[in-house]
Structure 1
Amino acid sequence: MNPSNFRPLLAVVMLALPFRTTLLFADDSERASVSVQGLRCEYLSNPLGIDVQKPRLSWRLDPAANLRAQSAYRVLVASTPSILQHDQGDLWDSGRVASAQSTWVEYGGKALHSGQQAYWKVRVWSDAGKSSPWSAQAAWSMGLLQSSDWHSKWIGEQRPDGTAGGTPLPSPWLRKTFTLVQKPAKAVAYVNSLGYYELYINGRRVDDYVFSPAVSDYSKRNLYVTHEIADFLVPGKNVVALWLGRGWCVKGHPGVIHDGPLVRAQLEISFGNGSTAEVATDEKWRIHESPITPLGRGTAFGDYGGERYDAGLELPGWNQVDLDDSGWQTAAVFEPASALTAAQMVEPNRLMETIKVARVEAYPQGGWVIDMGKNFTGWLEIKLPR
């Protein structure tokens, strides 16, 4: 070997040796303490409104702890954060369970009811018998578990006289004003939509979801999404508003007997003094056409359609409390095809990326071809000259 090549190699080995020696000979006192992280319930982080009555719990061990294996665990589930902080589980205390299982650990406590909140944490023991500190708290809430828990009606837009069946109707705005005597301690909105929706309280969008709820086969199930809305409500007059979109709720698709969109929703409101209130969709809600009208049939069989946006129909403040909606129509009540109503048990769709246009060309038959450079699910933002 050439000595000039040998010296750098020797230097590298000598520098690396102390580091490797530390790893090989470190005792337990020098290792990071065992810790538990990444708590999930039914694969989700702190999910709202689940409908699995015996949820499955999972966690991860901190890889920095240099832990070979988990030998046991203990799970606590409590009805309030304060009870859990005192290391008590009034809903479930698994006790120390000798098991390496850290995924899909089935809840084994008291029966859970609709709307119930649960808070939980876990600790584990290493293969050497060393216990971890308690994990940080995590939580989940139950959705509406029985069909009788739904007190709301399916509502939407009645097809105007003289409008042929199958003709796309404008995507409707819906709203309802109500009064609260005090600021609520807790408030939850359950929205069950055939087609897509956006939910607003007092003019504010309550989430960053898009294309919500997730796609489902309406002949088998329709999905609802749960929202915590207490921070959006105020003492006095309030308004809840929904902007619906057709999505895949098109007559001819399995399970669709009315051209959509349709929605049923209810707000469950609790106050600090123990009293409650409920706001539910019914024929008293007000409805108005929005600037968006679908184009084409919008079927999954090749006629995907599009949208027409009429800026002349814009109505500033349509979802705010001080709008006078006395001139709006009242919503129509519908009875969709019977199917299972289930909680959406997947992460919601969110805006993840803004794509710039790659190419714009005039189309010989008229119009323009806008090439985004990739396939995507989303929408366009176009600035037009005044």
Structure 2
Amino acid sequence: MREAPTRLRCEYRDDPLNVDTARPRLSWWLNDPRPAELQTAYQIQAASSATALQAGSADLWDTGHVSSSRTVNVDYQGRPLAVGDRVWWRVRCYDSDGTPSPWSEAARFELGLAESDWRARWVAAPLEGSPVAAVPAPLLFCDFELPAAPRSARLHVAVLGAVRLSLNGRAVTAEAIGTDRDLGCAPYRSYDVTDLLRSGPNRIAALLGDGAWCGHAAGGPRQRGGRRPMLCAELVVDAGSSPPFRLLTGDGWQWRPGWVLQADRDGGDIVDGRQFLSGWDEPGGCSGYPVDLPESGLVRRADPTPEPRVIACHTAPPPAQRRRSPEGRTRLRYDFGRSITGRLRATVRLAPGATLAVRYGLVEPVGDGAVSWSDAEDRYTGRGGEPERFEPGFALHAFRVVELVAEGEPFDVVQLEAVEVGCGAAATASLRCDHRLLEDGFRAAVRTLDQGLLLGPVRGPSGPDRRLQPVDAPAILAGAAAAVDAAAPFGFWAETLSGAGGAVPAASGDAAAGDTALDGWLPCLWLLYRCYDDRRLLDRMYPAVQGHLDRCADRWTGAAAALEVAVPDQLLGTARYAFALSVAARMAGVLGRLADLEAHLASLDRVRGAFRRRFVTAEGLLAGDAQLGYVLALETGLLEGDEVSVALGRIEAQLRRDGFHPALDLRDLGLLLEVLTLSGRVDLAYQALLQTTSPSWMHAVTAGADLLWDAAGGVPGRLAAAGMAGWLQRFLLGIELDDDLTPERNAYRRVRVQPRPPLGRAFPAGAPVRDIAGHLDTVHGRFEVAWRITAEAFELDVLVPGNAGARVVLPDGSDRLVPAGRHHFAVPLSGLSPAVAPAADIPVLREVSGGR
């Protein structure tokens, strides 16, 4: 094999510092551009130091020659690892001739702390706010001495609230890190802080804010997670002595009130610059009072989610408005020209004791351009004199327009920047298109997912769209898998939602209620297996799946007989229960639980029969005639024979009646387009996709919006983003998961390449899209697809990565299995009828070796 493997990862992450399993899984990409090349074997070496590995001394693990084509989630099976152990590893692959590749570059991982390994205690200040009012964010700190400069140092941090950490006055994290109140655990992160420590006196310091734990969250009252924020941290330093030096939160830590009077992610920051204490985070910088030592009752778990990061800083344009009110307040309004998630950084000159308020607003992208102002704002009280810089440390806002309101004179703006913050997940896809609206829409979708997938807020007004709602998770994950690297964060979310004991929330799975937590949790487990080959998660969570289905069965039986439950709710709940059964049946099949597979399929048959008796009329219509009901019934296979065509006819009639605007939430628009596409009505899917008036995905894109949101419907923009990214990737570009569930084909090891170009009599004005190109990075490598419609033919180019394959399906219905390499196909348009090619007149499928 000519080239060394690339993209070495452990538990779906690059060089993680807090792996929480003693048998982590390793993955890599094959790196061989030769056609039809496969991996026939691999060899992994692991060592306790980079030097040893480079010298070929694999003191932890050497697999030797292993005959296998597997490159994803290979279990570490070397010497048993202990907490804090560091492992450097590399891999080489053998090609179909048995020739080994060069060794890869070294990657590494470190074993983190299990709950039983923690020695640190939770610490907090004796300050508690109320459900309506905050208290100042406390400063927590501890001094310590090191006998020598550290060889290495790791800081493990769990927080209930939000925290900004520093060592010797230097920031540990670029952004505040925090905990959502609904995780049911205390996630912790790990940092390499070797360069922040020094021989002699040191100080670790934390500015501890309420965050979403005890501040405002999801538009509700404060303190729904806890009454005050808490911190738990362990610093482990190798300074050349044995055992390593450890500094733990607990006795010896101190606190004092800070100058941040409110530190609230959703509610905004309030800062009194007059109380700022310079040098407080340096050794000996200030003194304080003993901390409290509360108990949290939560398990600490390694957090694999990407950290928030600053994407860009945008310099403010000249103010669009400047006016002075009769009360003596100066108002300046700035329009940054694009939607931003983040905060404002302002350098201003204020009168002593004067207050600056920063308001944030979004602009409706079409219509009269009215500003929708957030109910959260940041406030700063100045010291006066020299210019002062104010940048909120905890709040996150979605905005395009800001308004500065200042009291008194002088008031001068020296510098103003919008700090744009993203979730840190790597983009995994691209799309280039000759239809500008679709290309802009995909770009906006990816940007919306980056800013809204993990951070929470994607709009200005506080509300439930600031958090990941479990019922929305499958739609978001399906789209995220087509655009960003979502395996680690969604796997973590799926496990934490189930609880430490593998139980599911008691309120979940009500068949009559429909939108419940487990309606999202169960299909997410399946998507994580299908997209990322996470079989271990299926194994671990399967007992909880069984428990969920048992509760669903009981509630579905009761709901179906309850007269007080509305028929539409019964119908939607029954359809979702059937979908859960179908997903569980596939899980059981993959896990080899054949008795469960048969039981789930038998239950599905009973539910399907009950559904048709209860909700399908003699004419094939559904009770309630709701568009979402038809979509779910078609998706889950609840209809038979002519009922399918009747359902499609009703959806078409409803779309035409409403000008091709969906009669369902935008969260379900992706599902609608998928059902239409897979049912052969690509024409209807395109017409709904390309609508530019509300409600539609393209409503905002037409006006140049680079974030997607729907204020009128209150629908989170990330739902629209996920649906749009998913459909464009799967059906426009044409890269889909293969239907084969065997391990050798799963998780994009073999893909289905089937673009749905706008061809046929349904497009009398011609194809609205004629030229597409893009890629998708998967756990098995990068797939590239490009297609175009010329005057003579439909042409398709496909790049399949090494060790993978593809089933290519062309518009005439012909298909072919192709191995790794570049492939070019062409179908003459003359061979296609206005609709589809007749079965007896299939045009010749041509492949040109070596591509174009």
Query: Match of 2:158, SS?
Result: strand
Could you tell me which residue of structure 2 aligns to residue 178 of structure 1? 144
Summarize the Cα distance change of 1:168–1:231 in structure 2 as closer, same or farther, 3 Å threshold.
Answer: same
- In structure 1, the residue corresponding to 2:343 is in which secondary structure? coil
Partner amino acid, structure 2, of 1:381: R
Deviates more, 1:71-80 or 1:280-289: 280-289
Question: Which residues in structure 2 correspond to 1:250-329 (within 5 Å)?
Answer: 250=214, 258-294=226-262, 304-323=266-285, 325-326=286-287, 328-329=288-289
Check conservation: 1:50, 1:344, Cα contact below 8 A: no
- What is the match of residue 378 of structure 1? 342
Tell me how far apart the structure 2 counterparts of residues 274 and 125 of structure 1 sit (CA, whole Å). Answer: 42
Once the two structures are TM-superposed, the CA of residue 231 in structure 1 deviates from its matched residue by 2.3
3-state secondary structure, aligned to 2:116? helix
Structure 1 pair 277–218 and aligned structure 2 pair: CA distance change class (3 A) = farther
Q: CA RMSD in A?
A: 2.8
Residue deviations 1:261-287 (CA, integer Å, cap 9, x gap) = 211111112232423221111143121
Q: Which one of the candidate residues 186, 193, 209 is aligned to 1:229?
A: 193
Per the alignment, residue 77 of structure 1 pairs with 46
Give, in whole Å, the separation in 1 of the partners of 2:36 and 2:149: 48
- Matched to 1:339, the amino acid is L
Aligned to 1:15: none
Which amino acid is 1:329 matched to? Answer: Y
Q: CA deviation digits over 1:115-137, x for unaligned, max 9?
A: 11111000001112211111111
Give the whole-Å Cα distance in 2 for the aligned partners of 1:199 and 1:283.
19
Q: Which runs of 5+ in 2 are unaligned?
A: 351-852
Q: Distance in 1 between matches of 2:310 and 2:340?
A: 11
> Does the 8 Å CA contact 1:56/1:107 hold for their aligned counterparts?
yes
> What aligned pairs does 1:38-53 form with structure 2 within 5 A after superposition?
38-53=7-22
The residue type paired with residue 243 of structure 2 is S
Residues 155-205 of structure 1: CA deviation (Å, up to 9, x unaligned): 122127xx7565211222211101122223222111111122222111111
Counterpart amino acid of 1:131?
P
Specify the alignment match of 1:345 in structure 2. Answer: 304
| Partners of 1:224 and 1:342 within 8 A in 2 | yes
Q: How many residues align?
A: 341
Distance 1:201 1:96 in 2: 46
**Mapping for residues 1-386 of structure 1, pairs under 5 Å:** 33-64=2-33, 68-145=37-114, 147-159=115-127, 166-208=132-174, 210-213=175-178, 215-218=179-182, 220-250=184-214, 258-294=226-262, 304-323=266-285, 325-326=286-287, 328-336=288-296, 338-357=297-316, 361=321, 371-386=335-350
| Distance (whole Å) between structure 2 residues aligned to residue 205 and residue 65 of structure 1 | 47
Tell me, what secondary structure is at the counterpart of 1:83? Answer: helix
User: Quick check: 1:219–1:339 contact (8 Å CA) kept in 2?
Assistant: no
Shift of 1:257: 5.3
**What is the SS of the residue equivalent to 1:154?**
coil
Structure 1 partner of 2:694: none
- Which whole-Å CA distance do the structure 1 matches of 2:248 and 2:132 have between them? 28
Note closer, same or farther for the CA distance 1:372–1:173 as it changes in structure 2 (3 Å cut). farther
Contact 2:43 2:93 in 1 (8 A): yes
Shift of 1:374: 4.0
Closer, same or farther in 2 for the Cα pair 1:333/1:167, shift >3 Å?
A: farther
Matching residue's letter, 2:107? A
- Worse-superposed segment, 88-97 or 99-108: 88-97
In structure 1, distance between residues paired with 2:88 and 2:263: 46
**2: CA distance, partners of 1:155 / 1:116:** 27
The residue identity in structure 2 corresponding to 1:74 is: Q
Higher strand share: 1
CA–CA distance in structure 1, aligned partners of residues 270 and 322 of structure 2:
20
Question: In the alignment, is the contact (CA less than 8 A) between 1:218 and 1:256 conserved in 2?
Answer: no
C-alpha separation in 2, matches of 1:295 and 1:124: 51
Structure 1: stretches of 5+ with no match in the other structure: 1-31, 299-303
Match of 1:156, SS state, is: coil
Q: Check the 8 A contact 1:35/1:65 in 2, yes or no.
A: no
SS of 2:90 mapped into structure 1: strand
Q: Which has the higher contact order (CA 8 A, sep 6+)?
A: 1
Is this contact kept in 2: 1:357–1:373, CA < 8 A?
no
Paired with 1:331 and 1:88, the residues of 2 have a C-alpha distance of 48
Q: Against the structure 1 CA distance between its residues 189 and 122, is the aligned structure 2 distance closer, same or farther, given a 3 Å change threshold?
A: same
Shift of 1:243: 1.8
C-alpha separation between the residues in 1 aligned to 2:322 and 2:269? 20
CA contact (8 A) 2:234 2:247 kept: yes
Tell me which amino acid in the other structure corresponds to 1:335. E
Q: 1:381 to 1:149 in 2, by over 3 A?
A: same
Q: How far, CA to CA, are the matches of 2:195 and 2:142 in structure 1?
A: 18
Identity of aligned residues (%): 27
Amino acid at match of 2:282: Q
Q: Is the 8 A contact 1:79 1:117 kept in 2?
A: yes
Query: Counterpart of 2:116 in structure 1: which amino acid?
Result: S
Q: CA deviation at 1:86?
A: 2.9
- 1:206: Cα distance to partner? 2.6
Q: Tell me the CA shift for residue 142 of structure 1.
A: 0.9
- Match of 2:279, SS? coil
SS of residue matched to 1:100:
coil
- Relative distance call for 1:309 and 1:83 in structure 2 (3 A) is same
Q: Partners in 1 of 2:272 and 2:309 — Cα distance?
A: 25
Measured after TM superposition, the shift of residue 35 of structure 1 is: 1.6
Question: Residues 130 and 227 of structure 2 are in contact (CA less than 8 Å); yes or no, is this contact kept in structure 1?
Answer: no
Kept in 2, the 8 Å contact 1:175–1:241? The answer is: yes
- Tell me the residue number matched to 2:508: none
Cα distance in structure 2, aligned partners of 1:343 and 1:255: 24
Q: Aligned in 2, Cα 1:76/1:352: closer, same or farther, shift over 3 Å?
A: same
The 3 A distance-change label for structure 1 pair 38 and 237 is same
Kindly provide the amino acid, as one letter, of the partner of residue 274 in structure 1: S
Task: Specify the alignment match of 2:356 in structure 1.
Answer: none
The aligned amino acid for 1:57 is L
CA shift, 1:153, in A, is 1.5
C-alpha contact (below 8 Å) 2:23/2:76 kept by paired residues = yes
Aligned pair in 2 of structure 1 residues 216, 42: CA closer, same or farther (>3 Å)? farther
Q: What is the alpha-carbon distance in structure 2 between the residues aligned to residue 258 and residue 283 of structure 1?
A: 22
Letter in 1 for 2:206: L
2:10, 2:25 within 8 Å by CA — same for their partners in 1?
yes
Amino acid at match of 1:153: R
Change over 3 Å in CA distance of 1:272–1:381 after alignment to 2: same
Residue aligned with 1:383, SS:
strand
